């Protein structure tokens, strides 16, 4: 028996991220020579804009390669506050901001700093996979709020209110939503915030896709009056600036909470990479023109993907209003009994048709799969053609 056989109990409360599992399996098949169309990766196919890359090169040349402050350089923290102020009208100060190793890390730090065993966390379904696991890891209790496909998976304050108990400590909202592409209206978001104030609980807004909104202007609930008291913004540069590999995210929150999160970070990762921080300053302060260019391309792809999916008899899809995911209902494939559930669907699609998608099961619904359209039109055409044929084949 190897010495590592006895693992800590808490590690069994989490599982490997399904999106990463799909990516690993697709990669394995690709290495074996399969011609895989990958709709699994939630990652922009655009390169990081050149001005951002050059800032990193400059930082290297200037030997900016040492530790920085745990929560990031003052320069970057101020730049993040300024960008958020400019884009959304918030007023965060340096001490209410910290830089993290990707947005996921901001969420992890927050949950660990806030949630005691038994505390309840409200998570609307469908949800981004990581919320569930990090809450479980902290010993918290996930309280899932089911939403309805017929109303675009939109969560409401009324729905959330029904799930609140004296143990509720935090509500998590992700708009635009990964995986559904749903975007909350400003009014509903405000109503949810009012509810959290009334019940004296925290509201985390995951703004990972905040700039990728197809209708209306992006907004942040953190700009609402009084929001700074109980709102935590989990932000990320990964998608907005096509910087997934640089690992830069941030949190905006009341200063005592930032202090607690920073304490944790000081004993885990320490500072985010120094060079990446310099690149992030350029992302925050430099030209923003790459963002609308990417958004326009995502919109073009979304329209194509939704149109193409709607040509497949029995498949339905809620029009995504943001992010870069389509979340079609593929349960028509279950009717013949050849496919059992979304995991089975994704596995069979990958082995029989060489298309990688993420099963809805990972996001809390079983009738769907997630298709990332952050990939080229050519790949989308090829993959959706295969998906159509696959569904026709298993329909029975």
Computed on alpha carbons and rounded to an integer, the radius of gyration of the chain in Å comes to 21
CB of 174 vs ligand PLP, minimal distance in Å? 5
Backbone angles phi, psi at 347, to 5 degrees: -65, -45
CB of 105 vs ligand PLP, minimal distance in Å? 6
Q: Which is nearer to ligand PLP, 140 or 235 (CB)?
A: 235
Backbone angles phi, psi at 122, to 5 degrees: -85, 125
Per DSSP, the three-state class of 94 is helix
CB of 311 vs ligand PLP, minimal distance in Å? 28
Q: Establish whether the linkage from the previous residue to 330 is cis, with ω within 30° of 0.
A: no
CB of 54 vs ligand PLP, minimal distance in Å? 22
Q: How far apart are CA 85 and CA 222, in angstroms?
A: 10
CB of 131 vs ligand PLP, minimal distance in Å? 8
CB of 203 vs ligand PLP, minimal distance in Å? 15
With both helix axes pointing from N to C terminus, report the angle between 290-309 and 377-394 in degrees, rounded to the nearest 10. 20
Q: Which is nearer to ligand PLP, 76 or 339 (CB)?
A: 76
Two structure tokens written together for 56: 């990193």
CB of 128 vs ligand PLP, minimal distance in Å? 4
Q: Which is nearer to ligand PLP, 208 or 261 (CB)?
A: 208
Alpha-helical runs (H) found in the chain: 18-31, 50-61, 74-88, 103-114, 129-137, 157-161, 186-198, 255-266, 274-285, 290-309, 342-353, 377-394
- Left (φ > 0), alpha (ψ -120 to 50) or beta: where does 145 sit? beta
Q: Which is nearer to ligand PLP, 281 or 339 (CB)?
A: 281
Q: Which is nearer to ligand PLP, 250 or 334 (CB)?
A: 250
> Residues in the site for ligand PLP, rule: CB under 6 A?
42, 102-104, 128, 174, 178, 206, 208, 236, 238, 244, 249
Per DSSP, the three-state class of 272 is coil
Q: Which is nearer to ligand PLP, 19 or 196 (CB)?
A: 19
Q: Which is nearer to ligand PLP, 240 or 354 (CB)?
A: 240
What number of CA atoms fall less than 13 Å from residue 196's CA on the CB side? 29
Place of tokens 């890891």: 137
């Amino acid at each position: 028996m190897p010495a590592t056989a006895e693992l800590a109990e808490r590690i069994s409360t989490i599982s490997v991220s399904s999106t990463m599992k799909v990516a690993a399996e697709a990669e394995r098949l690709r290495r074996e020579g399969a011609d895989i169309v990958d709709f699994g990766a939630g990652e922009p196919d655009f390169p990081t804009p050149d001005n951002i890359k050059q800032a990193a090169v400059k930082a290297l040349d200037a030997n900016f390669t040492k530790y920085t402050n745990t929560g990031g350089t003052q320069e970057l923290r101020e730049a993040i506050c300024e960008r958020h102020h400019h884009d959304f009208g918030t007023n965060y100060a340096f001490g209410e901001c910290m830089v993290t190793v990707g947005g996921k890390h901001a969420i992890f730090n927050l949950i660990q700093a806030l949630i005691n065993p038994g505390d309840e966390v409200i998570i609307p379904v469908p949800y981004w996979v990581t919320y569930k696991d990090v809450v479980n890891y902290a010993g918290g209790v996930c309280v899932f709020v089911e939403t309805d496909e017929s109303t675009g998976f939109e969560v409401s304050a009324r729905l959330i209110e029904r799930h609140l108990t004296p143990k509720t400590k935090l509500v998590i909202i992700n708009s635009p939503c990964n995986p559904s592409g749903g975007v909350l209206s400003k009014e509903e978001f405000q109503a949810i915030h009012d509810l959290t104030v009334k019940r004296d609980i925290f509201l985390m807004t995951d703004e990972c896709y905040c700039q990728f909104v197809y209708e209306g202007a992006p907004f942040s609930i953190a700009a609402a009056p009084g929001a700074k008291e109980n709102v935590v913004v989990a932000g990320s540069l990964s998608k907005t600036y096509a910087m997934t590999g640089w690992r830069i995210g941030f949190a905006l929150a009341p200063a005592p909470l930032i202090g607690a999160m920073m304490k944790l970070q000081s004993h885990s990762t320490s500072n985010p990479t120094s060079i990446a921080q310099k690149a992030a300053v350029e992302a925050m302060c430099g030209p923003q023109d790459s963002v609308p260019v990417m958004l326009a391309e995502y919109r073009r792809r979304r329209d194509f993907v939704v149109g193409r999916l709607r040509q497949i008899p029995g498949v339905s899809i809620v029009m995504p209003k943001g992010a870069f995911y389509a979340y079609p209902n593929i349960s028509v494939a279950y009717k013949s009994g050849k496919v059992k559930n979304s995991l089975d669907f994704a596995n069979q699609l990958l082995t029989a048709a060489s298309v990688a998608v993420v099963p809805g099961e990972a996001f809390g619904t079983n009738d769907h799969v997630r298709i990332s359209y952050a990939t080229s039109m050519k790949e989308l055409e090829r993959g959706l053609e295969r998906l159509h044929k696959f569904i026709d084949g298993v329909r029975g």
